[in-house]
Structure 1
Amino acid sequence: MNKHHELLDPPMVDGNHSEELVALLNQSLADTLDLAYQTKQAHWNVKGPNFYGLHLLFDQLYIQLATFVDDFAERAVTLGGQAFGTIRAAGAASRLDEYPLDARKGAVHVKALVDRYADYTTRVRAAIEKAEKLGDPDTADLYTAVSRAMDKALWMLTSHQEGD
């Protein structure tokens, strides 16, 4: 085997835990897709005095989540797995609560997103630990980057609850 071909092989992780890592990444892919579209739901339907600021914030958060969707899917494939990223697959696998489709007011959207982002962030932190235990520092690093960004997103969302 030549050196060029070796670079194309999936990376080996300690203990060859790639199947567990791919499953972890696919779960995160489902949760992230769901959170992204719940955030977009808020973006499309927000009303009230803070409409413009929230509309822009929700769209920025959606764009950020879309990047993470791509990162999780590509990491799963890089490890030799298959990414399961259809809306139906994500909807069936997501662990997030269903979004309140009747939400209109900004404060209701913010609260719904705060609850879901907090749950999501907790799950991302658990995934950091699991990836580390499975011997894959690169996947753990991906989750750490997502965790850091979601902490900031959660802070931005909770800041809109000040004074409520």
Structure 2
Amino acid sequence: MRKPLLSTGLRWLWLAIVVLIVDLGSKQWILSHFMLGETQPLFPSLNLHYARNYGAAFSFLADRGGWQRWMFAGIAIAIALSLLVMMFRSSAQKRIANSAYALIIGGALGNLFDRMWHGFVVDFIDFYVGDWHFATFNIADTAICVGAALVVLEGFISPADKDKATAGNKG
């Protein structure tokens, strides 16, 4: 007997769609309102700054001639498909894990779209302290990082739940 899709972790895919819409919308706004390299202060320690990233996180491999575009696209597709399978196999009740996977999928697809459509990823969030600036990033990057942090958090929470379940079955 097949299980209904809404009883699986795929029920949480709405979160990936929200991330994708917010990410692509914010990038389109930046492309429409900023020139490359333009900066607009928002708050102390936070600017909007239009930058192009031809590589991966922190511009890793950005200067390698273009092949990295296809490698990173392949990695994003493989990760998204793997996480979709994990969500399908997971119960909808596993909120933290499925939310984490959905955030990572939404972020990966947002950056994948940029890579395939523009040939680069649009970055625009510039966090700084004094003269030190963190690498410029975007909403997709934020979703991926939050999702990864939730995976780690779930790893700390989940063993305790399994230990309680195992202890309850011994009685």
Query: Considering only CA atoms, is the larger Rg found in Structure 1 or Structure 2?
Result: 2
* Structure with the bigger percentage of helix: 1
Give yes or no for TM over 0.5: no
Smaller-chain TM-score bracket: 0.3 to 0.5
Q: TM-score, normalised by structure 2?
A: 0.33
